[in-house]
Chains A and B, each alone.
Chain A
Amino acid sequence: MSEPTDLVRIEDVEKDYRRGGEEIPVLAGVNMTIPQGDFLALMGPSGSGKSTLLNIIGGLDRPTNGAIYVAGERVDTLSDRELAAWRARHIGFVFQFYNLMPTLTAEKNVDLPLLLTPLSRSERQKHVAAALAVTGLSHRAKHFPRQMSGGEQQRVGIARAIVTDPTLLLCDEPTGDLDRKSGDEILSLLQALNRDHGKTIVMVTHDPHASHRATRTLHLNKGLLEDHPME
């Protein structure tokens, strides 16, 4: 069993992709733990497997070998249906390109994950309002994505990720598509969520500036975590 403080435990995770007849190793035996309340930055060159690892932690992809435990539960052996339900309950995703529904307003976008819960309409509305307030976007609730700046859209993305109060917040290059100023605002928001709301966050980035905001940084290179990263 994992230590009670280790929210995530990753054991010998390997991942190969098959392209044509060839097996391409992407993760070559990753071991790590993420304690409750951590704000972890995952760095590494492009193509080093950062997104793959994040997706495996979040139950979007399955490892070829190894095991993943989240809050004491082994997740890589769940069925597709169980995994979907598990994601809805435990994981909040933030994407590099925000990935909002273009024809839904900010509040309807944030409402999406709540549709999978048994909450009533008015309860959902309360949660949506709270999430938008935390991300500082209450005044944008009725706006469509195209009416908002990139930074604002990403804050909607974060509101959508935290509205169900997930166990784990996973961010794949959340500032990768933003200018420095907007990116800083997003990083401050993530810091605040970690510090003030106790959210455990894993953030993939290749920007050292971003990783400095995290409490801890791990480097991935050629499918392995490096012990002595070169900075």
Chain B
Amino acid sequence: MKFFPVIWCGLKRKKARTILTLMSIVVAFLLYGYLSAVNTAFNMGVTVAGADRVVIRHKVSIIQLLPASYQARIERVNGVAKAAHMTWFGGIYQKPSNFFPQMPVVPADFFEVWPEFLLPEAQKQAWLRTRTGAIVGRRTAEKYGFKIGDRIPIQATIWRQKGGQTTWEFDLVGIYDGAEKNTDTTQLFFRYDYFDEARVQAKGSVGWYGARIQDPNQSALIAQAIDQEFANSPEETKTESEGAFVQGFAKQVGDVGAILAAILTAVFFTILLVVGNTMAQAVRERTEEIGVLKALGFTNTLVLWLVLAEALMLSFSGGIIGMGISWLLISRGDPTGGSLPNFFLPSHAFVSGFILMLALGAATGFLPAWRAMKLTVAEALRRG
């Protein structure tokens, strides 16, 4: 490209300004790349692990409870291998910022439906023997220094005990690991029989069910059959794949995708103004130079393309650097230390990033390029 020096010459003219503009583009695309990874991580959840599982929840919302008696009826549905339930406990360990989920489960059923939680046999036996026993994942155990034999007090926010007590104490009998790299090992599980016996409200209810199915390809049909089983009962159900369920759970926090989209829209709108202003100024300052190029015989169309190329070069160099840095940061792994196990830069982000760079360059370059094209030589070269 023999015209490269001419394009480059425009960007070099005010180095500081070009660098500042470039940096703002870099930051925008860094954010774009990073937030794309966050968005993907939220949407993927743990789907990968749960292909052969469905989750059964109350039809109205995930915070409505279901009867514990549904378990046997779920297991009778054709194609269901095993069902088990969990309930959101939502307690606090010492202070609210120490967040990890706690859930009462029935140990034997639990390991059958969620085999990715690996607990040594001896600890499993200890849990079955200990009514107040609990197991906790490796990550949380390491974070808070929990050891087997510890007594862990959890402050209830939802479930009070008989006698008004709000502190529940659990005896730590085991520490589990994850079978997969992305298995969540932050949760604490304790025994449902202890929980149901001690709580005041809603005895005999559970939060939701997980069910292992025999053939993952049949999951849609089986989900339908399960919901059919409870149709027209006081607590109707909604059965979905585990991935969809996790997504729904994340949406409790807010629509992550929409929030990220809003942030990025604001960022790119700002960038559009910044870069647009830079380009407009750069061309205005060079009115005479553009006049000279035309006097030398550069056609209006060629001048249009040169200015457009300059804007595109700016947006592409900023965009590529920004996406590159975000890729480097993202490849260092999950920034939350476990909450977003599927943290990576999706390939579609590169494609839409490329389109964004093109759009940014075209949008910011078009008006100045048009003006440069329309400029007549005699006007451009007249002084004062």
Contact = CB atoms under 8 A, between A and B. Distances in A.
Nearest to B9: A103
Contact of B296 (A81, A87, A108): A87
Interface string B288-309: 1101111111111100000000
Interface string A85-105: 111110101010101011110
Contact of B292 (A81, A88, A95, A115): A95
A93 B298 CA distance: 13
Contact of B295 (A93, A97, A102): A93
A226 interface: no
A80 B304 CA distance: 14
Nearest to A124: B2
A191 interface: no
A108 B8 CA distance: 12
B6 interface: yes
A116 interface: yes
Contacts of A89: 297
B3 interface: yes
B381 interface: yes
B12 A103 contact: yes
A112 B378 contact: no
A89 B297 CA distance: 8
A116 B296 contact: yes
Contact of A87 (B13, B295, B381): B295
Given A88-B296, A116-B298, A97 B383 contact: yes
Contacts of B381: 60, 95, 99
B130 to A, nearest CB: 78
A113 interface: yes
B377 interface: yes
Nearest to B377: A60
Given A113-B297, A116-B297, A60 B378 contact: yes
Given A60-B377, A60-B378, A112-B293, A99 B288 contact: yes
* Complex A-B, nearest 5 residue pairs according to Cβ-Cβ distance, in ascending order: A88-B297, A61-B378, A103-B12, A60-B377, A84-B299
B319 to A, nearest CB: 23
Contacts of A88: 296-298
Interface string A71-91: 000000000110011111101
Contacts of B299: 80-81, 84-85
Question: Binding site of B, secondary structure by majority: helix, strand, loop or mixed?
Answer: helix
A55 interface: yes
Given A60-B377, A61-B378, A102-B13, A108 B300 contact: no
Contact of B297 (A52, A87, A101, A104): A87
Given A97-B383, A101-B289, A104-B5, A112 B377 contact: no
Contact of B294 (A84, A104, A121, A160): A84
Contacts of B289: 99, 101
Contacts of B300: 80-81, 84
Interface string B1-20: 01101101100110000000
Nearest to B14: A103
A58 interface: yes
Interface string B359-384: 00000000000000000111001010
16 contacts: A61-B376, A61-B378, A84-B294, A84-B297, A85-B299, A88-B296, A88-B298, A89-B297, A93-B296, A99-B291, A101-B289, A103-B13, A111-B5, A115-B3, A116-B296, A160-B296
A177 to B, nearest CB: 11
Contacts of B8: 103
- Pick from A80, A95, A101 the residue with the most CB of B within 10 Å: A101
Interface in A43-65: 52, 55, 58, 60-61
A49 B289 CA distance: 23
Contacts of A55: 377-378
A104 B9 contact: yes
- Pick from A80, A102, A115 the residue with the most CB of B within 10 Å: A115
Contacts of B296: 87-88, 93, 112-113, 116, 160
A62 B2 CA distance: 31
Contacts of B383: 97
Contact of A101 (B9, B294, B298): B9
A85 B297 contact: yes
Contact of B298 (A61, A84, A102): A84
Contacts of A95: 292, 381
B13 A99 contact: no
Nearest to B288: A99
B186 to A, nearest CB: 56
A81 B297 CA distance: 9
B282 to A, nearest CB: 12
A84 B377 CA distance: 10
Nearest to A89: B297
Contacts of B3: 115
Interface string A102-130: 11100010011101100001000000000
Contacts of B13: 102-103
- Pick from B6, B288, B381 the residue with the most CB of A within 10 Å: B381
Interface in A10-50: none
Given A87-B297, A99-B292, 6 more contacts: A60-B294, A60-B295, A84-B294, A99-B288, A101-B6, A112-B296
A87 B299 CA distance: 10
